[in-house]
Structure 1
Amino acid sequence: MYKSTLALAVAVGVLAQQANAAGFVEDSKLSVSSRTMYFDNDNRDGSNDNRESGQGFKLDYLSGFTEGTVGFGVDLQALWGIHLDGGKGSRPNATNSFFPSDSDGSAVHDWARIGGNAKARFSKTEAHFGSALAPNLPILVSNDGRLLPQTFEGGTIQSKEIDNLTLNAGQLTHAMGRASSNRTGLSVSGATQDSNKFQFAGGDWKVTKDLTLQYYYSNLEDFYKQHFLGLVHVYPIAEDQSFKTDLRYFDSSSDGKNGQTGYIFDNNKGFAKNKGEVDNKTWSAMFTYTLGGHAFLLGHQQIGDDGGFVWANQGGVTKDGTSNTSVEGNGGASFYLFTDSMINQFAKAGENTTFGQYSYDFARLGVPGLKTSVSYLRGDDIKSAKNGSSYHEWERDARIDYVIQEGTLKGLGASLRHGVYRGGGSEASDDQDQTRLIFNYTYSFM
């Protein structure tokens, strides 16, 4: 991390000489974001409950680009998390993803990290290099489900030279967890070894204004190769009605040392045809009917029988390569499936998940900024890792969000979320009830 910070400092020094160049300053943006969060995870068996609250601050400076055929710029980010309920409190001693742990299992008082990216632009192509990357792509999604966001280190490039076609490519080497000031290598669920090479390439083709096709390829060296195909189509029925189709397909296979000691994928603690190896095909379909402020969603997802779905997740590794992950706070990773829900993932081998959601936007009733939703997911036919039988699981989530639209507190948002998870077999995850109360506010200085 020191090398990337030094390189960034050099880049800032060079760019400072051009600070008066049109665009670099004029197009700059400076903002500070605040997030206050209460997190309550109640394990119904009475063990490893997690109840904590914290305050997070995120300062972002995004410069414009210098003049010339190739424009240069810099993005800087500072993150600071503060624990609001002192002492050990109610928190698990094992890996914790809300706040880093001290040596006695209690939460540290606060933690921080600084990162940034150097960037360049040529025509309609942009390249970013640094330690504050936050990709949001089908093959890698930066997680922002706790106090502060997960970020990545490496380089990315995005090109829009061809109309209606967006191309993305890059190589990432490290990740900074959402509750950690340290960086680690990249890995997968259950593995203790890491990889410093995650490569990806792909694109989104907007065939028409209503139809988008996607293809992406990614490779986490010594763990997996993954192909993704996607289709999104929106059919406008009437002025206030539409029908959206979203289809996704993943094909994941083993790479390099995967399956050897330390490079084992635990298949989301489920069945695997070849123990420790990645071998999965997953398809999913979601259909959404929108009528005024109402939105009705229904979908289905099928995880292949040979092994669970796989995604980049560094939760099992540490900065020094040890197995003590309790102090890192690097757990928690998102992925591009409809079933990446509040508590569970529904991504085990053989799992058939049917899900639905209803949401309403109260702007239609004269209350802009107020939205609510309720969803239900049920996964059946999960293959047992022990005896070849099957079991099931389900989750019910509800949330209400409000953002103040005007006045002194314009932009202040509040979100109340509650989830209930229940497993139908001895190999299912622990039954849990989870509540999150979140307050967000962003102030832009320029």
Structure 2
Amino acid sequence: MNKYLITAGALALSPFAQAELVKDSHATLGLRNFYFSNDFRDQAGSLGQSKTEEWAQAFVLDFKSGYTDGPVGVGLDALGLMGVTLDSGAGRHRGSSMIPDDGDGAANQWSRLGLTAKLKVSNTELRHGTLLPKLPVLTYNDGRLLPQTFEGTQLTSSELDGLTLTGGRLNRATGRGSSDRTGLAIAGGSRESDQFLFAGGDYQIGKQLTAQYYFANLEDYYNQHFLGLIHTLPLAEGQTLKTELRYFRTTADGANDSAAGRAAGYRVGGFTDDGDGKLDNHTWSAALTYAVQGHALMAGYQEVSDASNFVQPNQGSLAGKGSGGASLYLHTDRMLASFNRAGERTAFAQYSYDFAAAGVPGLKFSLMYLKGDDIRTTSGHDASEWERDLGLDYVIQSGAFKGLGLAWRQGLLHSQIDPNQEQNRLIVSYSLALF
């Protein structure tokens, strides 16, 4: 890998290569103003705090270069991230939910810079450096002011019609509310892993069906297989029925597969058979979405086997790192809960409407409800939870403020596992093209 990077650097220094790099390059400055409020009054007695309430401004400089000419194209991308605290008074900051904790409360500002070298041959691209993976086995989290980022190498190839292959290796992550890189872990694990391997592909079978298979290994924690099917059926003009089937099989790897390794911290949180922290999980889901004239109604069901929680990389259990905030590739991974606990059976439904169908382009609304039952607990009693989420988005379509985005998110969680919570997010965003 180092040999490729040295070659890339040498080419980029030549005047010809620089001209080719600049020709197709572009940069944007993203602005995101974020107000975050989470009312968790159930915890007031134990934490002395009944609410998190913070306001901050993000600046995201995203530079994407072109490629040098020739059979092997070389390029370099850069991602600059900075957050500035606007308000987070005493008693309203909690950990690093959105703004990093500097030991005495909320940090005034925080930043990071990510560089990504890239090589391209035909329809195959190799990227090394800062990555924002969006795959069934790993999805970066962008639910707060700044996105979570990963470090490593990713290869993507689309040489064959209808088939996209992806593989790579990651070894570090930076949380959405942090500037510090960490190793990788899972929820409940206190030890860092230095390697996440992944490979898989999406195969387009005709115009309506996509089949997916991926494999991932988080060293000393787990092996995970994923199978997915996505089918879109046209019913009539302007009407479609989309079907999504997902299945995950997750088993213990390395240290998590031994009693000594689990005792050292390579364990999964929550309920496990024999209370030993060993991973052993099947998770499947099915979702149907009917869409017509701006309306979309989704209904689905998910089932998690009862030997352990469903997991994907989550660094939130690493003490003092500010690395919390992870996403799961589940329909049930929502604002406040993920409905991924051992034994949990979840029914969910969502209604959304795009007001462009009524002559108001840029305005969208969504409402989702989820109900999970049969959650296995260490106390031996099954538990349940439900969540309701609202979303309202508007992007100004013309005039001086064209492209300005306004968003409101509101979530309510009632749970026998987590504290009852009510959360609000207000987001104003704008992207400015620099060149």
Q: Which residue of the partner structure matches residue 371 of structure 1?
A: 364
Residue 245 of structure 2, aligned match among 244, 247, 253: 247
Could you list the runs of 5+ residues in structure 1 that have no partner in the other structure? 318-322
- Deviation, 1:383, is 1.2
Is this contact kept in 2: 1:395–1:422, CA < 8 A? yes
In structure 1, C-alpha distance between the alignment counterparts of 2:74 and 2:345, rounded to whole Å = 48
In structure 1, C-alpha distance between the alignment counterparts of 2:28 and 2:424, rounded to whole Å = 29
Residue 333 of structure 2, aligned match among 332, 340, 356: 340
- Deviation, 1:89, is 4.5
Residue 422 of structure 1, aligned match among 414, 419, 429: 414
Residue 131 of structure 2, aligned match among 127, 133, 137: 133
Counterparts of residues 235-384 of structure 1 (less than 5 Å) = 235-258=233-256, 260-267=262-269, 269-273=270-274, 275-317=276-318, 323=319, 325=320, 328-384=321-377
**1:73-97 deviations in Å (ceiling 9; x for gaps):** 00011110000015435022xx422
Q: Which residue of the partner structure matches residue 426 of structure 2?
A: 437
- Deviation, 1:263, is 3.4
Is this contact kept in 1: 2:328–2:338, CA < 8 A? no
Change in 2 beyond 3 A, CA 1:400/1:170? same
- Deviation, 1:24, is 1.9
Q: Which residue of the partner structure matches residue 320 of structure 1?
A: none
The count of corresponding residues between Structure 1 and Structure 2 is: 424
Is this contact kept in 2: 1:97–1:330, CA < 8 A? no
In structure 2, C-alpha distance between the alignment counterparts of 1:36 and 1:10, rounded to whole Å = 40
Range moving further from structure 2, 241-250 or 256-265: 256-265
Q: Which secondary structure state, in structure 2, belongs to the residue aligned with residue 296 of structure 1? A: strand
- Deviation, 1:265, is 3.1
Residue 389 of structure 2, aligned match among 386, 394, 397: 397
CA RMSD of aligned residues (A): 1.8
Larger helix fraction of residues: 2
Is this contact kept in 1: 2:300–2:347, CA < 8 A? yes
Is this contact kept in 2: 1:356–1:376, CA < 8 A? yes
Residue 67 of structure 2, aligned match among 65, 68, 79: 65
- Report the identity percentage: 47
Please give the TM-score of this superposition, normalised by the length of structure 1. Answer: 0.92
Q: Which residue of the partner structure matches residue 103 of structure 2?
A: 103
Residue 79 of structure 1, aligned match among 69, 76, 81: 81
Is this contact kept in 2: 1:19–1:25, CA < 8 A? no
Residue 36 of structure 2, aligned match among 27, 36, 39: 39
Q: What residue identity is the alignment partner of 1:408?
A: A
In structure 2, C-alpha distance between the alignment counterparts of 1:429 and 1:394, rounded to whole Å = 11
Change in 2 beyond 3 A, CA 1:35/1:19? farther
**1:50-89 deviations in Å (ceiling 9; x for gaps):** 1101101110110011011101000011110000015435
Is this contact kept in 2: 1:224–1:278, CA < 8 A? yes
Change in 2 beyond 3 A, CA 1:256/1:371? same
- Deviation, 1:391, is 1.4
Could you list the runs of 5+ residues in structure 2 that have no partner in the other structure? none
- Deviation, 1:297, is 0.5
Q: What residue identity is the alignment partner of 1:28?
A: S
- Deviation, 1:379, is 0.1
Please give the TM-score of this superposition, normalised by the length of structure 2. Answer: 0.94
Is this contact kept in 2: 1:273–1:307, CA < 8 A? no
Q: Which residue of the partner structure matches residue 232 of structure 2?
A: 234
Q: What residue identity is the alignment partner of 2:119?
A: A
Is this contact kept in 2: 1:187–1:193, CA < 8 A? yes
In structure 2, C-alpha distance between the alignment counterparts of 1:361 and 1:33, rounded to whole Å = 24
Residue 216 of structure 1, aligned match among 210, 214, 217: 214
In structure 1, C-alpha distance between the alignment counterparts of 2:88 and 2:412, rounded to whole Å = 27
**1:111-159 deviations in Å (ceiling 9; x for gaps):** 01111100000011000001x2000000000100000011110000000
In structure 1, C-alpha distance between the alignment counterparts of 2:91 and 2:396, rounded to whole Å = 33
Is this contact kept in 2: 1:88–1:107, CA < 8 A? no
Is this contact kept in 1: 2:220–2:266, CA < 8 A? no
- Deviation, 1:261, is 2.4
Range moving further from structure 2, 46-55 or 169-178: 46-55
Q: What residue identity is the alignment partner of 1:246?
A: E
Is this contact kept in 1: 2:17–2:69, CA < 8 A? no
Q: Which secondary structure state, in structure 2, belongs to the residue aligned with residue 257 of structure 1? A: helix
In structure 2, C-alpha distance between the alignment counterparts of 1:376 and 1:155, rounded to whole Å = 37
Q: What residue identity is the alignment partner of 2:128?
A: F
- Deviation, 1:329, is 2.3
- Deviation, 1:409, is 1.6
Asked whether 1:55 is paired with 2:53, we answer no
- Deviation, 1:372, is 0.2
**1:219-264 deviations in Å (ceiling 9; x for gaps):** 0000000000000000000111000000000000000001522434
